[in-house]
């Protein structure tokens, strides 16, 4: 009887050269980064930044490569080995770098000290993932609906902004989908945070947002589907970036932006678009420090019986009393407790 099993097609593999720009990216993950170290033996990343005269700006990192604005053009450059860890460079959009050019070979050889950064814990929370650097504002984009507003996500972005020395602006998008904003936003008005209500359908708030962002560098941050990329299209219609609808099944956004990238818009607006984040961990914060990033809770905490009150179970806690009387919204307190508890668990995204 004839064997009917299909034979595997023989495909000739390309003879990759070790001199290819992205040769290291094709190595098995278990072999990557063995020359530079992956743990505490690696050189402290902070020591790799220098006081230099930069001649380029990172648009988007790509493994051991990076797209860099250099000499008036966006160019793909190699990244020096000392600026890489585990097969990935330490660069982020907005980094100011020095590019060495030898004919067609461009190499990022140094990176300037950062003035600000937006970061979060990477996978398993064992290291820092830097999303954007050298930015003046973080646009914390939320939606009144589709997807539904989550207080905890916004609070985590505000903590990340405070840690990274970035001025936050809360952008409440998709106002055309509801007659009024959820009451949870009242908390943030009382904190004197700048809040802009926008709609990419009606144009509400776009001109005010454009005025705030002129001649500055900003980063867009928020859940998938809140309309971050749509806001860029509204600010600069000629750019025409791809967008996708929110899922009707679970009201979660579909990832359209897959990498962080710097864009230049009219009016001197530099803006970094980032992939949608469904969960945001808090980096470099202990559970005892969480209250310091909630100004209203920190102010109430000064009246607690115990100076080291955690505001979770102690008697004589002014914060818990404020929740019971309604002076502090319960949703705000729950967000504080959940973030604090997440720092006790194995997952910083709990």
In tens, the pLDDT along 5-41 reads: 555 555 444 444 545 555 545 444 433 433 333 343 3
Which of these three, 83, 112, 141, is where a domain ends?
112
How many residues in the chain? 350
| Same structural domain, 138 and 251 | yes
The reply to whether 43 and 172 lie within a common domain is no
| Residue 128 and residue 262 in one domain | yes
Pairing of strands 137-143, 216-222: parallel
Choose between 302 and 33: higher pLDDT.
302
Is residue 8 assigned to a domain?
Answer: no
Q: Would you say residue 7 lies in a domain?
A: no
- Which uninterrupted H or E stretch holds 98? strand 96-102
Query: How many structural domains is the chain composed of?
Result: 3
**Does 278 map to a domain?**
no
* Helices and strands (H, E) in the chain, number of each type: 7, 16
pLDDT value at residue 27: 47
Q: Do 264 and 128 belong to one domain?
A: yes
Instruction: Give the integer Cα–Cα distance in Å for 140 and 231.
Output: 12
Question: Looking at the structure, do residues 238 and 103 belong to the same domain, yes or no?
Answer: no
- Domain interval for residue 54: 23-112
User: In this structure, what token pair is assigned to residue 43?
Assistant: 């050189």
Percent of residues, the chain, with pLDDT higher than 90: 52
Give the pLDDT confidence score for residue 149 in this predicted structure. 86
Last residue of a domain, one of 248, 273, 298: 273
The sign one gets for the Cα dihedral 130, 189, 309, 341 is negative
Q: Are strands 84-85 and 261-265 parallel, antiparallel or unpaired?
A: unpaired
What is the number of other CB atoms lying within 10 angstroms of the CB of residue 268?
11
Q: In this structure, what CATH number is given to the domain that contains residue 104?
A: 2.40.50.140
Tokens 């019971």 — which residue? 324
Same domain, yes or no, for 124 and 253? Answer: yes
127 Cβ neighbours under 8 A, 6+ residues apart: 121
Is 117 in a helix, a strand, or coil?
strand
Q: Which of 61, 60, 64 is nearest to 22 (CA)?
A: 64
Of 29-33, 118-122, 141-145, 334-338, highest mean pLDDT: 334-338
Tell me, yes or no, whether 323 lies in a domain: yes
The answer for 225, left when phi > 0, alpha when psi is -120 to 50, beta otherwise, is left
% of the chain with per-residue pLDDT over 70: 77
Indicate if 236 and 130 belong to the same structural domain: yes
In a domain, 6, yes or no: no
CA-to-CA separations, 335 to 38, 154, 297, in angstroms, rounded: 34, 10, 11
Same domain, 232 and 135: yes
105 and 133 share a domain?
no
Decide which of 70, 95, 112 is a domain's last residue.
112
Query: Are 171 and 202 found together in one domain?
Result: yes
249-293 pLDDT, tens digit per residue, is 334 444 455 688 999 998 899 999 988 665 666 777 888 999 999
**Rg, Å, the chain Cα set:** 23
User: Residue 1 falls within a domain, yes or no?
Assistant: no
């Amino acid at each position: 009887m004839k064997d009917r099993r299909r034979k595997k097609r023989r495909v000739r593999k390309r003879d990759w050269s070790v001199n290819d720009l992205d040769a290291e990216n094709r190595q098995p993950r278990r072999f990557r980064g063995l020359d530079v170290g992956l743990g505490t033996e690696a050189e402290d990343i902070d020591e790799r930044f220098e006081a230099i005269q930069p001649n380029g700006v990172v648009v988007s990192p790509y493994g051991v490569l990076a797209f860099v604005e250099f000499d008036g053009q966006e160019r793909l450059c190699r990244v020096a080995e000392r600026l890489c860890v585990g097969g990935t460079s330490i660069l982020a959009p907005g980094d100011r770098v020095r590019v060495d050019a030898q004919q067609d070979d461009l190499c990022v050889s140094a990176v300037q000290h950062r003035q600000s950064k937006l970061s979060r814990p990477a996978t398993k929370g064992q290291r820092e993932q830097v999303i954007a650097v050298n930015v003046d504002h973080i646009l914390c984009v939320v939606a009144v609906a589709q997807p539904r507003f989550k207080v905890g996500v916004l609070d985590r972005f505000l903590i990340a902004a405070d840690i990274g020395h970035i001025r936050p602006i809360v952008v409440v998008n998709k106002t055309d989908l509801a007659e009024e904003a959820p009451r949870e936003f009242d908390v943030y008005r009382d904190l004197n945070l700048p809040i802009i209500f926008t709609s990419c359908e009606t144009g509400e708030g776009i001109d005010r947002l454009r005025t705030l962002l002129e001649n500055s560098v900003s980063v867009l941050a928020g859940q998938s589907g809140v309309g971050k990329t749509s806001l860029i299209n509204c600010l600069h219609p000629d750019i025409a970036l791809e967008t996708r609808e929110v899922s009707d099944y679970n009201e979660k956004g579909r990832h359209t932006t897959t990498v962080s990238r710097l864009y230049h818009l009219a009016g001197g607006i530099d803006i970094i678009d980032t992939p949608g984040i469904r969960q945001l961990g808090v980096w470099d914060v202990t559970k005892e420090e969480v209250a310091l990033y909630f100004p209203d809770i920190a102010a109430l905490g000064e009246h607690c019986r115990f100076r080291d009150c955690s505001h979770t179970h102690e008697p004589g806690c002014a914060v818990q009393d404020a929740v019971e009387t309604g002076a502090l919204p319960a949703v705000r307190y729950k967000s504080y407790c959940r973030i604090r508890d997440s720092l006790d668990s194995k997952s910083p995204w709990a």
